Structure 1
Amino acid sequence: MQLAPRTAVAVTAVPGPFEPQALRAHRLFESGDLDEARERISRVMQPHRLQPLGAGLGTPSRSHMDYTRLGDLGLGTIAFFGQPTRVDVEAVEDYHLLMFCLRGHAQVRSAGQTLTASTRSGVICAPGHSFLADLSPDCEQFVLRLDRRMVEAHLGLDEMPARFHAALDLRRPALQAWLDQLRLLAASPALLDTARRHPLVAVEMERLLVHLLHEGQGLGADTHDANLQITGIAPACVLRAERYMEEHAGSALRLVDIATAAGTPTRTLLEAFKRFRATSPMQHLQALRLERAHALLRAGASEPRNGAAQETTSVATIAFDCGFTHLGRFAQAYRRRYGVPPSVTLTARR
Structure 2
Amino acid sequence: MAENAESAARTGPAPARLALRTADLDEARSAIGTMYYDPRIDLLDSRRPLDTDFSMARLGPFTVGELCCGADVRMRFEDLRAYHVDLPLTGRLAWRQGAQQTRLATPDRAAVFQPEGRTTLERWDGACRLLAVKVAPEALVRHLELLVGDSLRAPLRLAPTMDLTAGPGRSWARLVRLVTDEIDDDHGLLRQPLLAAELQDSLLTGLLLATGHPWREALDRPAPHGFAHPVKRVVEVIRGRPEHPFTTTELAEVGGVSARWLQEVFRRQTGTTPMGYLREVRMERVRDELLRADPAATTVSDVAYRWGFGHLGRFADKYRARFGELPSQTLRSR
1:135 equivalent in alignment to 2:127: no
Which whole-Å deviations, capped at 9, do the CAs of 1:109-136 have from their partners, x for residues lacking one?
1131321111111111010122211111
> Matched residue of 2:68: which SS?
strand
CA distance in 2, matches of 1:188, 1:136: 26
* Matching residue of 1:153: 142
Is it true that 1:102 corresponds to 2:89 in the alignment?
yes
Note if contact 1:121-1:169 (Cα within 8 Å) is conserved in structure 2.
yes
Q: Could you give the per-residue CA deviations for residues 163-215 of structure 1, whole angstroms, max 9, x where no partner exists?
A: 32111111142423323322333335799955533455333222211212212
Give CA deviations for 1:7-27 in whole Å, capped at 9, x if unaligned.
Answer: xxxxxxxxxxxxxxxxxxx66
Partner residue of 1:85? 73
Distance in 2, matches of 1:33 and 1:190, equals: 23
SS at match of 1:35: helix
Moved segments of 4+, more than 4 Å: 188-195, 218-222
From 14, 35, 38, the equivalent of 1:47 is: 38
Please state whether the residue corresponding to 1:209 is helix, strand or coil.
Answer: helix
Gaps of 5+ in 2: 1-16, 220-334
Relative to structure 1, the CA distance from residue 65 to residue 188 in structure 2 (aligned partners, 3 Å threshold; closer, same or farther) is closer
Residue 148 of structure 1 and its aligned partner are, at CA, apart by 0.5
Structure 1 position 208 matched with structure 2 position 196: no
- The offset of 1:36, in angstroms, is 1.2
Aligned amino acid, residue 187 of structure 1: D
SS at match of 1:103: coil
- Contact 1:29/1:65, CA 8 A, preserved across alignment: yes
1:103-118 paired onto structure 2 within 5 Å: 103-111=90-98, 112-118=100-106
Q: Give TM-score, length-normalised by structure 2.
A: 0.53
User: Structure 1: 5+ residue runs without aligned partners?
Assistant: 1-25, 226-350
Does residue 25 of structure 2 align to residue 34 of structure 1? yes
Question: What percentage of residue pairs aligned between the two structures are identical?
Answer: 20
Offset of 1:224 from its aligned partner? 5.1
Mapped to 1, the partners of 2:189 and 2:214 lie a distance apart of 26
1:186 to 180, 184, 195: 180
| C-alpha distance in 1 between matches for 2:114 and 2:214 | 18
Out of 141-150 and 189-198, give the one that drifted further: 189-198
Q: 1:152 to 1:42 in 2, by over 3 A?
A: same
Deviations 1:232-273 (A, max 9, x none): xxxxxxxxxxxxxxxxxxxxxxxxxxxxxxxxxxxxxxxxxx
Amino acid at match of 2:63: G
Structure 1 residue aligned with 2:276: none
Q: Which amino acid aligns with 1:64?
A: D
Which of 127, 137, 157 in structure 2 is aligned with 1:163? 157
Cα shift readout 1:268-292 (whole Å, capped 9, x = no counterpart): xxxxxxxxxxxxxxxxxxxxxxxxx
For these two proteins, the number of residue pairs brought into alignment is 197
**1:201/1:163 Cα in 2 relative to 1: closer, same or farther (>3 Å)?**
farther
Question: Aligned partners of 1:101, 1:188: CA distance in 2, in Å?
Answer: 18
